[in-house]
Amino acid sequence: MQIVKKWGLLFLLFIYCAGCSSQQVFSDKPERQTKHASQQSAEDFLPKDIHVLALGDSLTEGVGDRQGRGGYVGRLQQRLKQHKGVRTVSVVNLGKRGLQLNQLDAVVHQHVAQIKRADLILMTIGGNDIMKVVRSHFFNLSYELFAKEQKRFAERLDHLLATIHAANPDATIVLVGLYNPFSSSLPNIPEINKVIDQWNNGSNQVLKHYDCTIFVNVKDLFDNRDDMLYSDEFHPNEIGYEQIARRVYDKLKKHEEMWLRRSKQ
């Protein structure tokens, strides 16, 4: 009988100790999870300082913006400032009218420090490369000429992206595609829309070889919209730049984990 009582007391003691251990285990686990969740939440929503570097041609410079608001880059900056994950937005704009892709290499090499600091690198390039084909072969333009030049353009773009990515693999690179302002000025090339599509698709394919890249197609915005062009019938006006900025911002919102995830403080 004493043996039974003894084992009974040991059994109760075991149950009591086990209960204490269980209670300790279950009470600790939620506490650690809650703490981790709160840290993650704070990190996700803490506003960040975003450094933007704009590279490219006259569209980056903002030529044709009669309001003087910096083209699509200036308008995009204002939109980014309103984003919930952004505290401040600083912009370095290196856009230059008339720039072709092969001239952009020199700009990149001269501004490595700005590239290393950038969270977002915006680019517009290619319009002057197409115009070079037009000026060189105006009286014998053909789809084949544009297709041949597009392949060279894609090779140069790949080299440029490799250079930028080597300097700053964490920066998000945004390339704004080409639109067609030539519908009235190049009636002898009925395939010009097909040419623009080919160049855009080729650039998009090059970007897919690299992490942290976004291609923004704006061609549809300008189709049959002469009211969005400047008086030179080539550059966007303030309406056109507003539409480009909106399209770029919409793309950035869809990929905010890319450009907000490791922005430099």
Task: Give me the mean pLDDT over the 38-50 stretch.
Answer: 62
Question: Which of 65, 73, 72, 135 has its CA nearest to residue 100?
Answer: 135
pLDDT of residue 45: 56
Among 33-47, 68-82, 97-111, 196-210, the minimum mean pLDDT is found in 33-47
111-122: per-residue pLDDT in tens?
Answer: 999 999 999 999
**153/126 Cα distance (integer angstroms):** 8
User: What does the block give as tokens for 244?
Assistant: 């480009």
Q: Is the pLDDT of residue 260 over 90?
A: no
**φ and ψ at 204, to 5 degrees?**
-60, -40
Which residues is 51 bridged to in the sheet? 90
pLDDT of residue 132: 92
Boundaries of every domain in the chain: 1-45, 47-260
As a whole number of Å, the end-to-end CA separation of the chain is 74
pLDDT, mean over the chain:
84
Q: Which CATH number fits domain 47-260: 3.90.930.60, 3.40.50.300, 3.40.50.1110, 1.10.3720.10?
A: 3.40.50.1110
55-75: per-residue pLDDT in tens?
Answer: 999 999 999 999 999 999 999
Q: Which has more confidence, 178 or 226?
A: 178
